[in-house]
Amino acid sequence: MRGTEEKGIREGKRGWLEAGRLLGEGMALYFTLRWGGVSPPPFASLNLSLSDGDHPRNVMENRARVAQRLGVELRDVVFMRQVHGTRVCRVFRGGRHRERVVPAADGLFTTRPGLVLAALTADCVPLALGFPFPRGVAMLHAGWRGTINDIAGAALRRLRAMGVSPEEVRAVMGPAIGPCCYAVDEGRALLFVEKYGEESGVVSGDGVSRVDLFRANRINLLRAGLREENIHQVGGCTCCDGDFFSFRREGVTGRQGAFVLLLPGERR
Ligand SMILES: [Zn+2]
């Protein structure tokens, strides 16, 4: 397997991006592509979302396949009912018989090995965190609202309260819509200019403004105390790359998954 930091490690079309080494030792991080599942178009084929119109039977088969590839039971995977907010929850356990869903949350963190934290996206930024003491991982979902409302900062406040030093935290942003494709109206662009000033990365011209969610989240992370060299990005633009689901490109479509865990047997 070969790969670069920008592209992650891609195991062919049916694979996923693996980026655990960017988070820290004994941590695993996977971003699924859209292939290798059973859903028909427009959800073809590895759609992991139960709330976008696909048949639940397909989604459950797809989730089971992902759990199998992760080497965990589906009940050890924790999803969120994502609401584009900034609520970040600590989780201690999975589900009883099947996967667990934490209501109304856009961020999860845990210190329990083997527990898998998941975010589902189709253009929004999946943002994983890894930290060595206390040892743990987090998964955040940052669309434009979660970005402008600084879910990364909210997560870092929770982690600091637990004794985590921000300068030891590593972050990896997964595939999401890039500034190449993320044209927004003037009102939304203005929100980003107001919050991030000259650093915003908003480019306007011909009545169209483009927003760079990666850059905005990077600024959020830096402001929360992360070191520049500990912030990574893999996977590129979901709207440009047909191997990913993209809401902007397709409208009705599926959701890919981002999964992070502390590997069991790596306790210190
Ligand atoms: Zn693009």
pLDDT of 168 reads: 98
Question: What number of helices (H) and strands (E) belong to the chain?
Answer: 7, 17
pTM for the full predicted model: 0.94
- Tens of pLDDT along 117-150? 999 999 999 999 999 999 999 999 999 999 999 9
DSSP notation for 228-267: GGGEEE-S-BTTT-TTS--HHHHSS---EEEEEEEPTT--
N residues, the chain = 268
CA–centroid distance for 61 within its chain: 21
User: Could you give the count of Cα atoms lying within 13 Å of 89 in the half-sphere of its Cβ?
Assistant: 17
pLDDT at 62 over 80: yes
- Domains, the chain, ordered by start: 3-177+226-262 (3.60.140.10)
Phi, psi of 128 (to 5 degrees): -105, 145
Contact, 118 vs 258, CB < 8 A?
A: yes
Q: 93-109 burial, b for 16+ CB within 10 Å, e for fewer? A: ebeeeebbebeebbbbb
Distance from the CA of 236 to the center of ligand 1, in angstroms? 8
CA–centroid distance, residue 176 to ligand 1 (Å): 9
4: confidence class by pLDDT, cuts 50, 70, 90: very low
Identify the pLDDT of residue 9. 52
Is it the case that residue 267 has pLDDT exceeding 50? no
Ligand 1 centroid to residue 238 C-alpha, Å: 7
CA 246 to centroid of ligand 1, rounded, Å: 10
- Rounded Cα distance between 63 and 56, Å, is 10
Contact 264, 73 (CB under 8 A): no
pLDDT digits (tens, 9 = 90+) for 192-211: 999 998 888 788 877 789 99
Residue 244: phi and psi, rounded to 5, are -120, 155
How far, in Å, from the CA of 86 to the mean position of ligand 1? 26
User: Which range among 37-46, 65-74, 198-207 shows the weakest confidence by mean pLDDT?
Assistant: 198-207
Ion ligand 1 — residues with CB < 5 Å: 178, 180-181, 237, 239-240
pLDDT (0 to 100) of residue 12 = 52
